[in-house]
Structure 1
Amino acid sequence: MIISISIKKKSIIDKVKIMANKTIIINTPDINRPGGVANFYLGLIGKFKSNVRYNYIGGKSKKSFFAVNMAMDYTKFIFLIIGKRPGLVHLNPSLDKKSLIRDAVFIMICRVFFRKYMLSWHGWQKKTENNITQKHIKLFRLFFGKAELMTVLSSDFKNALISWGIKCPIKIETTLYDDNLIADFVLNKKELNNNILFLSRVEEAKGIYVVLKAFNELLKRTDARLTIAGSGSETDKVKDYVLKNNIRGVAFAGYVKGDDKKELLKNSSIFILPSHSEGMPISMLEAMAFGLAVISRPVGGIKDFFQDGKMGYITESLEPKEYADLLFKLLSDKDKMGMISKYNYNYAKERFSASKVACRLDLIYKEILMCK
């Protein structure tokens, strides 16, 4: 009996060791290029315990070469599958037409070579969701319904997948911030001030005009400073809007990264993002990691974790006066801001740091690899 138990135990240990050495191929855009998925996997470098290998897909080439590039990506992927015989392929689609077509082919290749695959949904277009719901549920299930597991950024996305008949496990996951970003940051040395930060693409859909109007209203009640960090199609129009409306205290930082981003986050106290729609904005997680209070809307994955009053304030409204009131409410109560700052710092460190996200992904990989 004892011998039998020992043999079974050894068999399980051997299986775990074999699974741990199995290669996991992760399809991602080149991590040296800007973009949400690329930044996500850039932050995870060196954090995995699993034997992962990145497979870069896509490119900056012109549209006329799109088909050629995709053919090259598929060919490279086939040789990688044959050469590495991965235990798992981790695909990272978005819910948009181009991405669905691209990743449907990667899934077909996985099936031909009998490779397990999982899907992590990043971008999520409501228009595409509605189109699938109305016309293409069966087609979606045909290509994407056989995954071992899926991760999403929002409970709304999970509910949509379930409504389409997806039966595999669906986990709600998060984006991340790079641990190195706050390596030399000391929360106790952070000075609470009246500096407000908008860190996102400068687009109307991100609520930039709501922010400017709210800030202009706020200036009637107290002094403050607004920094707009990011680039986008509305940048020039936004600058003109600030000049025409004589809004004082607005600074444009442009696209920021590295030390410049760190300094902005260190020297700001409130992060504002009245976005019309979101997945889970990395800039918000970075802001929380630096102890900023947050004012935003319950869109995408934000509503699944945000604690109103504890992390800042959240509102459905797109009315500038509502945001001016919330900004003034925070700036008028430095003790409250201090409590929010400490809470956000600790919450982000425990939940959103790259090392924590990598740990959760390692567990998912292990779970899939251990299943027959």
Structure 2
Amino acid sequence: MRIIQLIDSLEAGGAERMAVSYANALSKKIEFSGLIATRKQGPLVNLIEKEVAYFFLNRKSTLDIASLFRLRSYIKNNNITIVQAHSSSFFLAFLLKLVYPRVQLIWHDHYGNSEFLSKRPTRVLRILIPFFSGVLVVNHNLKDWCKQRLKIANIIFLPNFVGCENKTPSETILKGIAGKRIVCLANLRSQKNHYFLIEVAEKLKISHPDWTFHLVGKDFLDDYSREIKALIVASNLEKKVFLYGSKQDVGNIIDQASICILTSKSEGLPVSLLEYGLHKKPVIVTNVGDVSTVIQKNVNGFLVESDQIEVFYDSIVKLIANDKLQIDFGLALYKTIVENYREESVIKIYINWLQNSCK
């Protein structure tokens, strides 16, 4: 097999991380594994293994004909048989199919607003999906939606996975007191619901003033970002809630945490949750997307409904008060991740599916 991952950018996001993870994992299994960033590069380029063929397309617009034919030449010259298009790059993959029909297309749907699928547009997808040999989705809600709304026959659910730890140098030093840090790995997007986190932080400031929150993820410098920053100031949380932007040394950051959280109002299957588990951290997460397939309530973490701020706060307090529970949750979650969300098992199923889908 000769497979290319197609992704719009290599900024630090879940879909982008998985595009890199698939390219890296496949480089050990197949004849040729490559990755093409179509519009923008980013920090994740540093996580691409040397065995992966990387190409930056530098696409300027939706109908950039010159970039389309650069892509066609690259695919043809490297004898690529399968293009795995992640998220919104499906449209470019469709255009490629028009000018190079022999290539097989797979769409990897990472749609994050899985709690709000009823509002998702379908018109363009229904037109383009027949040009794809199969669809891969990252949670069960998406699979059901694709079957019902898009009438997709060849569809598979595969969970996100974590591979081997990268060798990114440890550069980030978190503020606050060691042993009293709470980390949240989530880009500054509305679906990640940092408003929820700030309300929890206000409560914890009163009961446990030494504890601090550390928010790591891309800052898009948009209205949402400005609102979150203004709210931190208005709530007098400047010394309790810290923003770091996008960082590459994720493992190092998680290792500095005592508790890890997600406060999202919608998710697919968050890669950050898998990374928390890989580092044996106790977690408190909202019950959205496929999070409940990873977290067994009160067994390997606390699972809280996305509107229950008081329950979320109480769960943090319980962990703070019980060091043994922190250790037990961390070890139990690690066991879950190793047994169900590691690279080897997911890639094996993926390759078997491709062999049947792209004949």
- Superposed pair shares fold, TM > 0.5: yes
Hey, what's the Cα distance between the residues in 2 that align with 1:341 and 1:46? 27
Q: 1:45 to 1:344 in 2, by over 3 A?
A: same
Q: Cα deviations across residues 199-236 of structure 1 (Å, max 9, x unaligned)?
A: 21234442212112212213433352222223434455
1:227 aligns with 214
Q: What is the count of residue pairs matched by the alignment?
A: 329
Q: 1:91 aligns with which of 76, 79, 85?
A: 85
5 Å matches for 1:299-314? Answer: 299-314=288-303
Taking structure 1 as reference, are residues 258 and 161 closer, same or farther at Cα in structure 2, changes over 3 Å only?
A: closer
8 Å Cα contact 1:179/1:355 also seen in 2? no
Task: State the shift of 1:324 in Å.
Answer: 0.9
| SS of match in other structure, 2:277 | helix
How far apart in 2 are the matches of 1:120 and 1:341?
Answer: 30
Partner of 2:200: 214
Q: Counterparts of 1:122-137 in structure 2 under 5 Å?
A: 122-124=110-112, 130=119, 132=121, 136=123
The CA deviation string for residues 2-34 of structure 1, in whole angstroms up to 9 with x for no partner, is xxxxxxxxxxxxxxxxxxxx4223323454x54
2:188 paired residue among 202, 221, 235: 202
> In structure 2, do the counterparts of structure 1 residues 164 and 212 end up closer, same or farther at CA, with 3 Å as the change threshold?
closer
Among 41, 49, 59, the residue aligned to 2:39: 59
Q: Which has the larger radius of gyration?
A: 1
Task: State the Cα deviation string for residues 324-370 of structure 1 (Å, max 9, x = none).
Answer: 1111122223222211100112222343344554444333333445x
Q: CA–CA distance in 1 between the matches of 2:279 and 2:162?
A: 11
TM-score scaled to structure 2, two decimals?
0.77
- Distance across 1 between alignment mates of 2:166 and 2:31: 25
- Does the CA-based 8 Å contact 1:211-1:272 persist in structure 2? no
Cα separation, partners in 2 of 1:291 and 1:55, compared to 1, 3 Å: closer
The answer to which structure, 1 or 2, has the higher relative contact order (CA under 8 A, 6+ apart) is 1
Q: Determine if the alignment matches structure 1 residue 155 to structure 2 residue 140.
A: yes
Alpha-carbon distance in structure 2 between the residues aligned to 1:243 and 1:45:
41
Superposition TM-score, scaled by structure 1 size: 0.74
Q: Distance in 1 between matches of 2:17 and 2:274?
A: 13
1:196 and 1:225 in contact (8 A); partners too: yes
Q: What is the distance in 2 between the residues matched to 1:86 and 1:238?
A: 44
Q: Secondary structure at the match of 1:47?
A: helix
* Distance (whole Å) between structure 1 residues aligned to residue 105 and residue 334 of structure 2: 35
The question of 1:28 aligning with 2:28 is answered no
Contact 1:40 1:175 in 2 (8 A): yes
Unaligned runs of 5+ in 2: 42-57, 171-177
> In terms of mean alpha carbon deviation, does 36-45 or 275-284 score higher?
36-45
CA contact (8 A) 1:182 1:289 kept: no
Whether the 8 Å contact between 2:184 and 2:214 is mirrored in structure 1 is: yes
Question: What residue number does 2:245 align with?
Answer: 255
Q: Note if 1:74 corresponds to 2:76.
A: no
On the 8 A contact 2:183/2:257 being kept in 1, the answer is yes
Paired residue for 2:44?
A: none
Higher deviation after alignment, 287-296 or 297-306: 297-306
What amino acid maps onto 2:3 in structure 1?
I
* Amino acid across the alignment from 2:303: I
**Deviates most, 147-156 or 241-250:** 241-250
Residue aligning to 2:173: none
Q: Aligned to 1:89, what secondary structure does the other structure show?
A: strand
Q: 1:342 aligns with which of 328, 331, 353?
A: 331
In structure 2, relative to structure 1, the CA distance for the partners of 1:43 and 1:342 (3 Å cut) is same
Higher strand share: 2
Aligned residues with identical type, % of pairs: 17
Q: Report the aligned-residue RMSD.
A: 3.4
CA distance in 2, matches of 1:264, 1:64: 33
Q: Structure 1 pair 267/67, CA: closer, same or farther in 2 (3 Å)?
A: closer
- TM-superposed deviation, 1:312: 1.3
Supply the distance in 2 between the matched residues of 1:125 and 1:280 (Cα, whole angstroms). Answer: 11
Q: Which runs of 5+ in 1 are unaligned?
A: 1-21, 186-191
Which secondary structure state, in structure 2, belongs to the residue aligned with residue 179 of structure 1? Answer: coil
Q: Which structure is higher in helix share?
A: 1
